[in-house]
Amino acid sequence: MRALSNDVFLRALRREATTRTPVWIMRQAGRYLPEYRATRAQAGSFVQLMKNPELACEVTLQPLRRFPLDAAILFSDILTIPDAMGLGLYFEEGEGPRFERCVRTPDDVAALEVPDIKAELGYVFEAVARIREQLGSSLPLIGFSGSPWTLMTYMVEGRSSRDFKHAKAMLYATPEAAQQLLNKLVAAISQYLLAQIDAGADALMLFDSWGGALAANQYLEFSLKPMQRILSAIKAAHPTIPVIVFSKGAHAQLDAMSHSGADALGLDWTISLAQARRICGGRVALQGNVDPTVLLADPAQVRTEVRLALESYGHGHGHIFNLGHGITPDVRPENLATLITSVHELSPEFHRN
Amino acid sequence: MRALSNDVFLRALRREATTRTPVWIMRQAGRYLPEYRATRAQAGSFVQLMKNPELACEVTLQPLRRFPLDAAILFSDILTIPDAMGLGLYFEEGEGPRFERCVRTPDDVAALEVPDIKAELGYVFEAVARIREQLGSSLPLIGFSGSPWTLMTYMVEGRSSRDFKHAKAMLYATPEAAQQLLNKLVAAISQYLLAQIDAGADALMLFDSWGGALAANQYLEFSLKPMQRILSAIKAAHPTIPVIVFSKGAHAQLDAMSHSGADALGLDWTISLAQARRICGGRVALQGNVDPTVLLADPAQVRTEVRLALESYGHGHGHIFNLGHGITPDVRPENLATLITSVHELSPEFHRN
């Protein structure tokens, strides 16, 4: 394990004792920061920014220069793998991600090849290595991937969706084809995350953004099981690298998730940390879960919500403070500073013996 | 209580013994039916259809002519009340509902008046009376309203939303104004539902479509509590009229919901009926919860999913079969027939002593 001057995040992931609650923010390198918007303008587009290791490194580091965060997270996108599979990722302004080709039929699935991830996604690993070098021994770096099911939704729909109709219909109508697609994604994602560790990632996160759209039994079969196979592949090679699983909105499945082999679970704001902690019974650390909308209120309200979240988790270790989803572009950076300062000031009392 | 030749739905809502599981379908009067599309074309627009009692009655009855459903549900829209409050409801083709004016500031809230619901929404009560007359003593009729929080989201955003940013920001930044708005909605919705009972509704449903977007503590304060005040108003006047509460996606709050005074809870597909039944401990009936996407698969798969849902609820009474959300326009009516027939054929074994 890498020796880091600030390892409070990694220790909290392992549910070891810490003197305060660590904090990082999903999408901390993002549009709410003027310096991010300037670098993105320099790159030309989101995709060009993400594929430029030097600029991806720069935007990863920007929030760390402003705020006393406890982790860096690779600046990238969850759709790098489908793009490397030849689907042609692009972004329609104001519309989110799109693919030039989508995967709708069993024949489409059969034709899809697992790419040589190391070769195709070199720009990601180069960014990880640059960030790792810039961070030195200061802070841990989080690598990440979209989950197999979440990547499948974009690949089948060809874009973001509200109901995931085509992707879910594939699960019900041609489950073998769906499994074949998920198998290919498990292979690609496992390679991808292992290569991020090789390049310098200290912890990993699986973003299962759309796990919460599935029926309970379908979630277990088509979202959680594929993630568990990735967890096994990572743990076999790197038993000490912690992995966070974030199935947004899938709270009815928290008990199963807490037995999945994940070290920590991400939570959105729709379940209290107290309830989630009871359900998970100390088997995992918990990350979250303030509603990003809180950052649109005034600083006093932000501080109140930080206190409420800390009280909800309660006394003891194993909590990583975060929002319940990514920070939104309309947040004033001063409000995020208030949130982070509040965690630093208010959390030590929850860690005293 | 009205004597009905088919009261299996009402008995299940009261958790009384039945010989099979009743079934109705959210949005059963809808675009998947060619006869609905014809009547809508005749009306000119969705709003014109909804505001025409004769045609609203006609589309309410259409699915009952095709399928052996156990309840009729008033054809209307959840946004009639904000429209009656003067916000100017219209529909943008393919975009969903919009309001000409929205409610963003404490001054906007203060200026809003609770309308004379009986006078303003006469077209709804006239439709209820016509449907009641047409149904005779055959089937129960469900009346409904959007919940206060759900109506608030549309009134504050001015349209449907993915993140409810302005509505949630009002809860955090100006909670007194939010409460004032919710109070006005509680008053209007209570009047509205009581008048539907007077016109002939046998059961009621509160559609809290966006309760699941709220943080746990915010849900209890700003969604469930206002619904409980409506439940109290209805129960005080009509103790035997059952009320179903459907807070889509708010599964972490099922225990609180089961103590709210609702007779039944609607469930979407992301929690198993088995788990929901355990959490609710027999305090309420449960309605749901097959993923509407299942109806895009083949008939054998539809029947399998019906069996899985019945098995998940398990032996005993108090289950109302339904989808977990409205039926979608692309479903073939034959597949819905398969679902309903399967409930009739497969459910009796779960009701034997």
Say which range, B2-6, B32-36, B239-243, has the weakest mean pLDDT: B2-6
Of B216, B275, B328, the CB nearest to A271: B216
Average pLDDT for B184-190:
98
A246 backbone dihedrals φ, ψ, rounded to 5°? -125, 95
Which pLDDT score is estimated for B306? 98
Q: Residue A143's CB: how many other CB atoms inside 10 A?
A: 26
Active-site annotation holds for B77: yes
Angstroms from B133 CA to nearest CA on chain A: 37
Asked if the C-beta of B169 comes within 8 angstroms of chain A's C-beta atoms, the answer is yes
Q: Where are the alpha helices (DSSP H) in chain A?
A: 8-13, 34-43, 46-50, 53-66, 80-82, 106-111, 117-120, 122-135, 148-157, 165-173, 175-199, 216-218, 225-237, 254-258, 273-280, 299-313, 333-346
Asked if the C-beta of A177 comes within 8 angstroms of chain B's C-beta atoms, the answer is no
Tens digit of each residue's pLDDT (9 = 90 or more) over B249-264: 999 999 999 999 999 9
* Cα-Cα-Cα-Cα dihedral sign, residues A158, A160, A163, A168: positive
Active-site annotation holds for B40: yes
Which pLDDT score is estimated for B95? 79
Asked if the C-beta of A271 comes within 8 angstroms of chain B's C-beta atoms, the answer is yes
Asked if the C-beta of A270 comes within 8 angstroms of chain B's C-beta atoms, the answer is yes
CA distances from B4 to A13, A185, B321 (A): 59, 55, 19
Q: Which of B212, B266, B278 is nearest to A255 (CA)?
A: B278
Q: Give the integer Cα–Cα distance in Å for B350 and B184.
A: 44
Asked if the C-beta of B172 comes within 8 angstroms of chain A's C-beta atoms, the answer is yes
Tens digit of each residue's pLDDT (9 = 90 or more) over B292-316: 999 999 999 999 999 999 999 999 9
Which pLDDT score is estimated for A287? 98
Q: How confident is the model at residue B353 (pLDDT cuts 50, 70, 90)?
A: confident
First to last CA, chain B: 27
Torsion (CA) A126, A128, A131, A137 in degrees, nearest 10: -130
Above 0.85 for ipTM, yes or no?
yes
A3-8 long-range contacts (CB < 8 A, ≥24 apart) are A3/A137, A4/A137, A4/A138, A4/A139, A4/A140, A4/A202, A5/A137, A5/A138, A5/A139, A6/A70, A6/A138, A6/A139, A6/A140, A7/A140, A8/A70
Average pLDDT for B137-162:
96
Token pair listed for A44: 């030309």
Which site among A268, A270, A271 would you substitute to test the B interface, given the most B Cβ atoms closer than 10 Å to its Cβ? Answer: A270
Report the 3 state secondary structure along A20-62: CCCECCCCCCCCCCHHHHHHHHHHCCHHHHHCCHHHHHHHHHH
Kindly tell me if the per-residue pLDDT of B1 is higher than 90: no
Do A340 and A69 touch, CB atoms closer than 8 A? yes
Token pair listed for B190: 């209570």
* pLDDT above 70 as % of chain A: 100
Q: Give the integer Cα–Cα distance in Å for A136 and A61.
A: 12
Respond yes or no on whether the N-terminal peptide bond of residue B353 is cis (omega within 30° of 0). Answer: no
Which pLDDT score is estimated for A62? 98
Average of per-residue pLDDT values in chain A: 96
- Which amino acid is present at A237? A
Of A163, A270, A294, the CB nearest to B252: A270
Kindly tell me if the per-residue pLDDT of B94 is higher than 80: no
Do B241 and A296 touch, CB atoms closer than 8 A? no
Which pLDDT score is estimated for A2? 84
Which pLDDT score is estimated for A162? 85
| Residue for token pair 């326009």 | B329
Q: Taking CB atoms and an 8 Å limit, are A172 and B271 in contact across chains?
A: no
Asked if the C-beta of A163 comes within 8 angstroms of chain B's C-beta atoms, the answer is yes
Of B165, B173, B271, the CB nearest to A298: B173
Q: Residue B114's CB: how many other CB atoms inside 10 A?
A: 15
Q: Give the integer Cα–Cα distance in Å for A329 and A273.
A: 25
Angstroms from B298 CA to nearest CA on chain A: 7
Do B145 and B206 touch, CB atoms closer than 8 A? yes
Which pLDDT score is estimated for B92? 82
Q: Taking CB atoms and an 8 Å limit, are B252 and A249 in contact across chains?
A: no
Q: Residue A221's CB: how many other CB atoms inside 10 A?
A: 18
Which pTM does this prediction carry?
0.96
Catalytic member of A40, A98, A132, A277: A40
Tens digit of each residue's pLDDT (9 = 90 or more) over A281-319: 999 999 999 999 999 999 999 999 999 999 999 999 999
Which pLDDT score is estimated for B298? 93
CA distances from A324 to A271, A285, A319, B50, B245 (A): 10, 15, 13, 38, 26
Q: Give the integer Cα–Cα distance in Å for B117 and B191.
A: 7
Average pLDDT for A263-284:
98
Which pLDDT score is estimated for A188? 98
Q: Which of A340, A336, A319, A315 is nearest to A327 (CA)?
A: A336
Respond yes or no on whether the N-terminal peptide bond of residue B217 is cis (omega within 30° of 0). Answer: no
Q: Residue B100's CB: how many other CB atoms inside 10 A?
A: 11
* pLDDT above 70 as % of chain B: 100
Angstroms from A186 CA to nearest CA on chain B: 23
Do B265 and B280 touch, CB atoms closer than 8 A? yes
Run of H or E residues at B171? helix B165-173
Q: How confident is the model at residue B222 (pLDDT cuts 50, 70, 90)?
A: very high
Q: Taking CB atoms and an 8 Å limit, are B216 and A269 in contact across chains?
A: yes
Q: How confident is the model at residue A95 (pLDDT cuts 50, 70, 90)?
A: confident
Average pLDDT for B312-341:
97
Average pLDDT for B315-320:
97
Q: Taking CB atoms and an 8 Å limit, are A172 and B214 in contact across chains?
A: no
Do B204 and B244 touch, CB atoms closer than 8 A? yes
Active-site annotation holds for B20: no
Asked if the C-beta of A298 comes within 8 angstroms of chain B's C-beta atoms, the answer is yes
Angstroms from B296 CA to nearest CA on chain A: 6
Asked if the C-beta of A288 comes within 8 angstroms of chain B's C-beta atoms, the answer is no
Do A113 and A174 touch, CB atoms closer than 8 A? no
Report the 3 state secondary structure along A295-334: HHCCHHHHHHHHHHHHHHHCCCCCEEEEECCCCCCCCCHH
Asked if the C-beta of A299 comes within 8 angstroms of chain B's C-beta atoms, the answer is no
Q: Where are the alpha helices (DSSP H) in A67-116?
A: 80-82, 106-111
Residue A173: CA count within 13 A, CB half-sphere? 15
Angstroms from B317 CA to nearest CA on chain A: 22
